[in-house]
Amino acid sequence: MKLILAIVHEQDAARSVEALASRGLVVTRLASEGGFLQQRNALLLLGVDDSEVADAIQVLREVGRPRHEQLTPPVMALGPGRQPAAVEVEVGRATVMVLALDEVEHL
């Protein structure tokens, strides 16, 4: 078994959960927030068989649409005396981590 941790943009979270569930994958969604740009994200947790990993990643790849947004970084990230300027960033792709599970128990 594997544990998939997927960080997805908030705008892609609902579609990601629906698409994964339609493939029979059980997913848990947690609200999260990014560091530097402090954007809302969702952390998706999936416990899957080894044979389902590629399918889950493909679903996330198809749903996570890259977009460009103008964002202003928080002042504290720039240091004292510096004014933040809007920067164009790409959002909407998933960051996916796959971890091996030694044991899973349903209690």
Number of neighbouring beta carbons within 10 Å of residue 63: 19
Q: Of the candidates 12, 40, 42, 13, which has an alpha carbon nearest to the alpha carbon of residue 30?
A: 42
Q: 22: domain range?
A: 2-100
- Count the domains in the chain: 1
Is residue 105 in a domain?
A: no
Q: Which two tokens stand for residue 29?
A: 């969604």
Question: pTM for the whole thing?
Answer: 0.77
Amino acid (one-letter) located at 81: G
Residue 59 one-letter amino acid: V
Distance (Å, whole) CA 67 – CA 71: 12
Percent of the chain whose predicted confidence (pLDDT) is above 90: 51
- Residue 72 sits in a domain whose CATH number is 3.30.70.120
Instruction: Tell me, yes or no, whether 94 lies in a domain.
Output: yes
CB 5 within 8 A of CB 97: yes
Q: pLDDT tens digit string along 41-55? A: 899 999 999 999 999
* Domain contains 106: no
Q: Is residue 95 part of a domain?
A: yes
Residue 106: strand, helix, or coil: coil
